[in-house]
Structure 1
Amino acid sequence: MKNKAMTYVLLAAVIGLWGYILMQVFNSLSSDSTIPTTGKRTFGEQEMNLSFYKTKNTGALLLNYSDPMLRNQTHEELTEPLVVESNTAIDTYVAPQPYEPVPQIDVQYLGYIENLVDKRPTAIIQIEGKQYMMNNGEHQSGMKLVSMTKEYIKIKIDNMIKTIYKNEN
């Protein structure tokens, strides 16, 4: 009987101890605390004696040396003054033609499939809202399919090659 009573007392002490430990852990993790926490300073500020450092006497820079890149070259001085004709640039100015951007074609690369027999890839492309199945070198709506991979296709429109990446939507 004595052992049973001691077991219950020790069990209550262990449960109480673990309850206290868990309460401390949860209280430290919660953000409800209004008390700011600060770290303790474990070191004191010390005055530093820097009198043993001495400054170097570097002197002044000498800037009257010759340029090492132009050492073997001679320069010619202008003997006559430079004459600038006035208004020549303003009189001969021609305004550039306004730039009209090339209209863009809405092209999206949706994916590709392979032919089961000859393993030839066929791209699925959406041009201006319509879907087409194209192979390398084929033309459609003023566009030529130059090359294709799983990630992107290269197309040629108006002698310009553009790379279009696959839509992931």
Structure 2
Amino acid sequence: MKKKLTYPLLALVVLLWGAIFYRIFAGLGDNKPTPPSASAERKPKTVAHRHTGDSLLLDYPDPFLERARGAPISVDGGAGPTGAPEQPEPVMELPYIDWSQVQYLGSVNSEGKKAIALVAVNGREYMLRPGETIDGYTLLSMQGSSITISHQGQVATLTMQGQ
């Protein structure tokens, strides 16, 4: 303890640690419930809100109901449109075909014969000439690096894989 500042700093450290220990041990003391104070029994304040004059205007027509209504209903005592309601003709929806299952791998050209396309359908490889059918897929035509295939009435053009 050669420096003069060491003694006051030592006293300050002892004082701080004493305050810390006092707060810890004072908190561990009796846990007696304290009676409620008079300020806790006050009534909550009521706040009067000013009327701003804003309101929602809900007297406009619904744009989505106009399409759903169809023919207007007469108010003059009539029963509405007479006769059977017109049924729209059913539209034949084409089934969804996952064309990613069909891959054009390439073609083989031999002299004097038609070109043969190498096609993979569901992981199995086939050799097809234009007009041939396999698993419901018909090869319609070959144009360079692409082929045209039909399946269940739908036609797709596939390019060679890797191009």
The bucket for the TM-score relative to the shorter chain is 0.3 to 0.5
* Greater Cα radius of gyration, structure 1 or 2: 2
